Structure 1
Amino acid sequence: MPRRVDSKSELVFRAAKPRAQPYLLADGNGLALRVRPNGTRTWLLRYRRPGTSKENFLSLGPYPDVSLVDARKAATIARNLVRDGTDPVEHRRAESAARKRAAEGAFQLVAQKWLAFKRKEWADETYRKAEFVVREYLSPALGNKPISTLATPEVKPVLEAIAAHAPNLATKARQYVGGIVTYAIQHGLREDGIPLSLRGVIPRHKKGHIPAITKPAEIAPLVQAINTYKSPITRAALKLTMLTGLRPGMVAAAPWDEVDLDVAEWHVPAGRMKMQHEHIVPLPKQAVELLEELEALTGRGHYVFPSPARQKTPHLHRDALSKALRELGFQGKHATHGFRGMLRTVGTERLGIDIDILEAQLAHAKRGDVQKAYDRTTFDDDRRRVMQEWADYIDRLCSAKP
């Protein structure tokens, strides 16, 4: 039988001096003070793990910060846990995790950390869309809800509300919520193995094509309407989108240091491209003239299209382009993304441009892993020629007599 140890007075523990080797000064019932050679003293409880014959130690805090009375109380609580079949060390870890989840686990806080983490691997436009959905839709509805207990019935009505007016965004929002929950599990803010069941919560909808004007007779009225738009910055951004076929978000956020007017090229780095490949955009002379006029108007700050004073973004927001087309009467007829469809359709059908050249200009992904790996063709010279043809064709349509 183990030797019985009687409880000691606090004077004994207060007088404990360090020795060359660490030692334990026992108080009985497994409680002891560990004294290290450097003078630090810590309360420890020796106990047998429930269901095993293995002994373990539980730290109860430093002495004298934790008094003898408090150490004995903590030891009693721990022994009661053992008696009930709970390992006090595991219990402490669970409590610590719960405190962490409570402090850091509000949905909006986790969502912001997830966005910061994903930004390292996403293109700017991909990040912009995710940040927009989180900020405008998910955080207002789920902001302070604990991620540790977030349940499918809480998320379902939020996604349904988004789907009612923006089905495509609802699909993205569902993906983002899943990513945020996975991030929370990986960082100890939600128990492992408790995902959400969101598949099928969004009503199915028929995917329609992005509205785009592709008939030559309708292009001139579109361009002429854009020429009347009140904001010269938004007007120029719309025209550059049309002349290059780039995604509207790329155009709106274009910095001047990517544009070389002397060689009539726009070099978009891989980090800003959806497919994570550098993209060289040839600028027809009409685009160069447009940018020179804009530079004379706004100066050469960081962004080609600086933000109006009322906007929070440092550059023109892509939604300003959509708003302009709506105000000009083209809602449901032509979207900002529709300029890409216009170039692809009209370029093929009216100008006879090779589809591979157009795909390279639009920076579309190659189909198939083999093609992605070995097809590095960018058709730079061909694209320079056909984009000038495209700009000239638009000019001819606009100058033609009715």
Structure 2
Amino acid sequence: MPKLSKPLTDTQVKTAKPKGDKPYTLADGGGMYLEVTTSGSKIWRMSYRQENGKQNRLTFGAYPEISLLEARAKRAVARKLLADGIDPGQFKRDAKQAKAIAATHTFEAVALTWLEKTVATRAVTTQEKVTNWLKKDVFPFIGNMPVSAIKPTDVLATVQKMEARGAIDSAHRVKQICGQVLRYAVAIGLIERDVTTDLKGALTISIKTNYASITEPKQSGELMRSIFSYTGHPYALAALKLSALFFVRPGELRSAQWSEIDLEAAEWRIPGEKMKMKVDHLVPLSTQAVDILRGVFAMSGHGKYVFPSIRTNERCMSENTVNAALRAMGYAKETMTAHGFRAMARTILDEVLGERVDLIEHQLAHAVKDPNGRAYNRTAHLPARREMMQRWSDYLDKLRMDVGTHSIRT
């Protein structure tokens, strides 16, 4: 029978000292031993024989970082692997490699790659919004985690922080974005499944409401007077005025670039990648709009954006700027929003000014089709739309000056 080693004691391990000019070992049984080096270091190791008969050894770590009890636990795991026909040394190397790979495939690294790969599917403003959500609300909490280690509760805790501050709609959207990132990770073989599917029903249900808007002429005139009396930043003032004149989506206005605007031709050509419908859109500029833009050009014309961020010219104005200006003017979010200028124009142009609905829908960049079911191009009915936009600007001036024309159908 092979000689059985008497198990070590904590005292033996603790008091073991170097002996001479060679290392020596203290056996604990089951192939495990403590190697004491000439420098006094103590290292836990285990000898074992592979299926092919080759002798090999494992290193569990140094004492006292790895206690006697912890070393024995590691030995038990190794012996279980051997019993299952698995080489514990190769298993350890594979696990180390997998850990290294996982460390390079963090949620942040995968998300940034996904953003780059899918950029063509989103408008510029949407790309910016998604990027900001990830950087501000996701990366600080799960960005450093390997995608393979992320659990449903990790994503839930992240989006619940947004929910707690009242950003319920954004929390739902960010959960969807996290799911898209994880599905990309599935597609490239990093994980088996998207764990956000387990979060169905976990967030507060958002009650959908229309964007608050002023649609009555008299109140619209009061709004325009408030806008022209606004004393905030000049970019915000110009954006407020143009929001009313253009009634484009807020993201389209704040991301406007000077390269898209021809002041001489009085046209703003918005490329399709910025539009919700992914179709190029043309905004005829009224004389009032041209005057406002010329004033803005004197401030930002040297740069890329019509409305640059006040912090850096490399980014456009914040999405909160126009809404913040409305709040500063005394308009609550339940009364008027940046997006509400679209409803204001849509309602008054139709119900008060009697403009053609198809022209209004064209100018709102809604899907409008000809009698054959084909979508119109961006220049469809341009002369008529140009006249309508000038009438709208003139009408807003009349409302602002309160000359009594707000209730007259023309």
User: What are the Cα deviations for residues 193-251 of structure 1, in whole angstroms up to 9, with x where unaligned?
Assistant: 76641221112132111111111111122122222332111111121121111111211
In 1, the alpha carbon distance for the partners of 2:252 and 2:358 equals: 21
Residue of structure 1 in register with 2:116 after alignment: 116
Residue of structure 1 in register with 2:382 after alignment: 380
In 1, the alpha carbon distance for the partners of 2:196 and 2:119 equals: 23
Report whether the alignment pairs 1:166 with 2:177. no
After TM superposition, give the deviation of residue 99 of structure 1 in Å: 2.6
Q: Which of residues 231, 236, 239 is equivalent to 2:238?
A: 236
In 2, the alpha carbon distance for the partners of 1:125 and 1:109 equals: 22
In 2, the alpha carbon distance for the partners of 1:270 and 1:301 equals: 22
3-state DSSP of counterpart to 1:111: helix
In 2, the alpha carbon distance for the partners of 1:235 and 1:282 equals: 20
3-state DSSP of counterpart to 2:190: coil
After TM superposition, give the deviation of residue 96 of structure 1 in Å: 4.3
After TM superposition, give the deviation of residue 258 of structure 1 in Å: 0.5
After TM superposition, give the deviation of residue 392 of structure 1 in Å: 1.0
In 1, the alpha carbon distance for the partners of 2:312 and 2:183 equals: 33
- Residues 155 and 183 from structure 1, CA distance in 2 versus in 1: closer, same or farther, beyond 3 angstroms? same
Kept in 2: contact 1:344–1:358 (CA 8 A):
yes
Residue of structure 2 in register with 1:14 after alignment: none
3-state DSSP of counterpart to 1:266: strand
- What is the TM-score normalised by the length of structure 1? 0.72
Instruction: Determine what percentage of the aligned residue pairs are the same residue.
Output: 34
Kept in 1: contact 2:124–2:273 (CA 8 A):
yes
Residue of structure 1 in register with 2:40 after alignment: none
Residue of structure 1 in register with 2:228 after alignment: 227
In 1, the alpha carbon distance for the partners of 2:402 and 2:307 equals: 30
After TM superposition, give the deviation of residue 347 of structure 1 in Å: 1.3
3-state DSSP of counterpart to 1:316: coil
Structure 2 residues without counterparts, runs of 5 or longer: 1-49, 58-79, 405-410
The amino acid of 1:190's aligned partner reads I
After TM superposition, give the deviation of residue 118 of structure 1 in Å: 2.0
Residue of structure 2 in register with 1:182 after alignment: 183
Residue of structure 2 in register with 1:264 after alignment: 266
- Residues 193 and 346 from structure 1, CA distance in 2 versus in 1: closer, same or farther, beyond 3 angstroms? closer
Kept in 1: contact 2:358–2:368 (CA 8 A):
no
User: What are the Cα deviations for residues 107-158 of structure 1, in whole angstroms up to 9, with x where unaligned?
Assistant: 2222222222221321112212211221222222322233212111222233
Residue of structure 1 in register with 2:325 after alignment: 324
Structure 1 residues without counterparts, runs of 5 or longer: 1-46, 49-70, 75-79
Indicate the RMSD between aligned Cα atoms, in angstroms: 3.2
User: What are the Cα deviations for residues 9-39 of structure 1, in whole angstroms up to 9, with x where unaligned?
Assistant: xxxxxxxxxxxxxxxxxxxxxxxxxxxxxxx
Q: Which of residues 294, 302, 305 is equivalent to 2:304?
A: 302
Kept in 2: contact 1:253–1:316 (CA 8 A):
yes
- Residues 185 and 353 from structure 1, CA distance in 2 versus in 1: closer, same or farther, beyond 3 angstroms? same
In 1, the alpha carbon distance for the partners of 2:313 and 2:290 equals: 28
After TM superposition, give the deviation of residue 396 of structure 1 in Å: 0.8
User: What are the Cα deviations for residues 50-92 of structure 1, in whole angstroms up to 9, with x where unaligned?
Assistant: xxxxxxxxxxxxxxxxxxxxx9859xxxxx989845699x978
What is the number of equivalent residue pairs in this alignment?
326
3-state DSSP of counterpart to 2:268: strand
The amino acid of 2:306's aligned partner reads V
Report whether the alignment pairs 1:156 with 2:141. no
Kept in 2: contact 1:97–1:189 (CA 8 A):
no
The amino acid of 1:180's aligned partner reads V
3-state DSSP of counterpart to 2:269: strand
- What is the TM-score normalised by the length of structure 2? 0.71
Kept in 2: contact 1:160–1:201 (CA 8 A):
no
